[in-house]
Amino acid sequence: YAPWCPACQQIEATWESFAKESERLGITVGKVDVTQEPGLSGRFFVTTLPTIYHANDGVFRRYRGSRTLEDLQGYILERKWEAVEPVAGWKSPSSLMMHGMAGLFHFSGWIRQIHNYLTGTLGVHVWVSYAIFILATLLIGLLLGL
Protein backbone atom coordinates (compact mmCIF):
# COMPACT_ATOMS: atom_id res chain seq x y z
CA TYR A 1 0.00 0.00 0.00
CA ALA A 2 0.92 3.64 -0.13
CA PRO A 3 -0.43 6.33 2.22
CA TRP A 4 -1.44 8.59 -0.70
CA CYS A 5 -3.38 5.83 -2.54
CA PRO A 6 -7.20 6.29 -2.41
CA ALA A 7 -7.88 2.57 -2.99
CA CYS A 8 -5.48 1.71 -0.14
CA GLN A 9 -7.23 4.15 2.17
CA GLN A 10 -10.57 2.61 1.22
CA ILE A 11 -9.52 -0.94 2.17
CA GLU A 12 -7.61 0.08 5.31
CA ALA A 13 -10.44 -0.52 7.82
CA THR A 14 -11.23 -3.92 6.27
CA TRP A 15 -7.56 -4.86 6.32
CA GLU A 16 -7.25 -3.90 10.00
CA SER A 17 -10.28 -6.06 10.82
CA PHE A 18 -8.77 -8.93 8.83
CA ALA A 19 -5.51 -8.51 10.77
CA LYS A 20 -7.41 -8.72 14.07
CA GLU A 21 -8.88 -12.05 12.93
CA SER A 22 -5.48 -13.40 11.86
CA GLU A 23 -4.81 -15.45 15.00
CA ARG A 24 -8.19 -17.17 14.71
CA LEU A 25 -7.48 -17.88 11.03
CA GLY A 26 -4.01 -19.22 11.81
CA ILE A 27 -2.23 -16.69 9.59
CA THR A 28 -0.06 -13.62 9.86
CA VAL A 29 -1.32 -10.44 8.22
CA GLY A 30 0.86 -7.48 7.43
CA LYS A 31 1.16 -4.46 5.23
CA VAL A 32 4.11 -2.74 3.62
CA ASP A 33 4.33 0.92 2.66
CA VAL A 34 5.95 0.84 -0.78
CA THR A 35 7.10 4.43 -0.37
CA GLN A 36 9.23 3.32 2.58
CA GLU A 37 10.25 -0.08 1.17
CA PRO A 38 10.89 0.35 -2.57
CA GLY A 39 12.97 -2.83 -2.67
CA LEU A 40 9.97 -4.94 -1.67
CA SER A 41 7.91 -3.16 -4.28
CA GLY A 42 10.42 -4.31 -6.89
CA ARG A 43 10.79 -7.80 -5.47
CA PHE A 44 7.03 -8.41 -5.53
CA PHE A 45 6.67 -6.61 -8.89
CA VAL A 46 3.95 -4.33 -7.52
CA THR A 47 2.33 -2.47 -10.42
CA THR A 48 -1.04 -1.60 -8.84
CA LEU A 49 -2.04 -0.56 -5.36
CA PRO A 50 -3.11 -2.11 -3.13
CA THR A 51 -1.61 -5.48 -4.02
CA ILE A 52 -2.38 -8.48 -1.82
CA TYR A 53 -0.24 -11.61 -1.72
CA HIS A 54 -0.84 -14.91 0.02
CA ALA A 55 2.35 -16.72 0.97
CA ASN A 56 2.41 -20.27 2.28
CA ASP A 57 5.53 -22.44 2.60
CA GLY A 58 7.50 -20.20 0.25
CA VAL A 59 4.81 -20.28 -2.46
CA PHE A 60 3.37 -16.89 -3.41
CA ARG A 61 -0.08 -16.29 -4.86
CA ARG A 62 -1.55 -12.94 -5.79
CA TYR A 63 -5.03 -12.37 -4.37
CA ARG A 64 -7.36 -10.85 -6.96
CA GLY A 65 -10.74 -11.41 -5.30
CA SER A 66 -13.20 -9.09 -3.65
CA ARG A 67 -11.80 -7.02 -0.84
CA THR A 68 -14.54 -7.46 1.72
CA LEU A 69 -13.75 -8.94 5.11
CA GLU A 70 -15.96 -11.97 4.40
CA ASP A 71 -14.21 -12.72 1.10
CA LEU A 72 -10.74 -12.34 2.60
CA GLN A 73 -11.66 -14.69 5.44
CA GLY A 74 -13.30 -17.13 3.02
CA TYR A 75 -10.13 -17.18 0.91
CA ILE A 76 -8.28 -18.58 3.93
CA LEU A 77 -10.95 -20.66 5.68
CA GLU A 78 -12.23 -22.33 2.51
CA ARG A 79 -8.66 -22.73 1.20
CA LYS A 80 -9.58 -20.94 -2.03
CA TRP A 81 -5.92 -20.04 -2.39
CA GLU A 82 -5.21 -23.63 -3.44
CA ALA A 83 -7.09 -23.00 -6.71
CA VAL A 84 -4.99 -19.92 -7.49
CA GLU A 85 -1.97 -20.40 -9.74
CA PRO A 86 1.25 -19.60 -7.84
CA VAL A 87 3.47 -16.79 -9.06
CA ALA A 88 5.81 -18.15 -11.75
CA GLY A 89 9.20 -19.27 -10.45
CA TRP A 90 11.17 -16.54 -12.21
CA LYS A 91 8.76 -13.86 -10.91
CA SER A 92 8.63 -15.27 -7.39
CA PRO A 93 9.78 -12.74 -4.77
CA SER A 94 12.35 -15.29 -3.60
CA SER A 95 13.90 -15.73 -7.08
CA LEU A 96 17.31 -14.39 -8.07
CA MET A 97 15.74 -12.14 -10.71
CA MET A 98 13.44 -10.45 -8.19
CA HIS A 99 16.37 -10.00 -5.79
CA GLY A 100 18.05 -8.10 -8.62
CA MET A 101 14.89 -6.08 -9.24
CA ALA A 102 14.81 -5.14 -5.55
CA GLY A 103 18.42 -3.98 -5.86
CA LEU A 104 17.52 -1.75 -8.81
CA PHE A 105 14.69 -0.18 -6.81
CA HIS A 106 17.09 0.48 -3.91
CA PHE A 107 19.58 1.97 -6.35
CA SER A 108 16.93 4.29 -7.81
CA GLY A 109 16.01 5.41 -4.29
CA TRP A 110 19.68 6.14 -3.61
CA ILE A 111 19.88 8.23 -6.80
CA ARG A 112 16.76 10.14 -5.74
CA GLN A 113 18.35 10.87 -2.34
CA ILE A 114 21.48 12.23 -4.02
CA HIS A 115 19.36 14.39 -6.33
CA ASN A 116 17.37 15.73 -3.35
CA TYR A 117 20.62 16.45 -1.49
CA LEU A 118 22.06 18.32 -4.46
CA THR A 119 18.94 20.38 -5.10
CA GLY A 120 17.57 20.77 -1.57
CA THR A 121 20.59 20.96 0.70
CA LEU A 122 23.25 22.35 -1.63
CA GLY A 123 20.86 24.50 -3.66
CA VAL A 124 22.05 23.18 -7.02
CA HIS A 125 19.60 23.90 -9.85
CA VAL A 126 17.57 20.87 -10.95
CA TRP A 127 19.01 20.92 -14.48
CA VAL A 128 22.56 20.99 -13.12
CA SER A 129 21.75 17.91 -11.04
CA TYR A 130 20.41 16.20 -14.17
CA ALA A 131 23.58 17.16 -16.05
CA ILE A 132 25.71 15.64 -13.27
CA PHE A 133 23.80 12.36 -13.52
CA ILE A 134 24.02 12.35 -17.32
CA LEU A 135 27.76 12.95 -17.16
CA ALA A 136 28.18 10.24 -14.50
CA THR A 137 26.19 7.79 -16.62
CA LEU A 138 28.33 8.52 -19.68
CA LEU A 139 31.57 8.19 -17.73
CA ILE A 140 30.52 4.92 -16.10
CA GLY A 141 29.48 3.57 -19.52
CA LEU A 142 32.81 4.64 -20.98
CA LEU A 143 34.76 2.97 -18.15
CA LEU A 144 32.75 -0.23 -18.45
CA GLY A 145 33.24 -0.21 -22.19
CA LEU A 146 36.99 0.07 -21.84
pTM of the model: 0.64
Instruction: Quickly count: other Cβ atoms within 10 Å of residue 124's Cβ.
Output: 15
Compute, in degrees rounded to 10, the torsion defined by CA atoms 80, 85, 87, 89: 130
| pLDDT band, very low/low/confident/very high, at 95 (cuts 50, 70, 90) | low
pLDDT (tens digit per residue) in 32-78: 898 888 777 777 778 889 999 898 888 889 999 999 999 999 999 99
Instruction: Report how far residue 145's alpha carbon sits from residue 139's, in angstroms, rounded to the nearest whole number.
Output: 10
Q: Which residues contact 43 (CB under 8 A, 6 or more apart)?
A: 93, 98, 99, 101, 102, 105
30 belongs to the catalytic site: no
5 belongs to the catalytic site: yes
The least confident of 2-11, 32-41, 75-84, 93-102 is: 93-102
- 125 within 8 A of 119, measured Cβ to Cβ: yes
Catalytic residue among 5, 29, 124, 132: 5
Catalytic residue among 6, 7, 8, 14: 8
Q: 104 vs 75, which has greater pLDDT?
A: 75
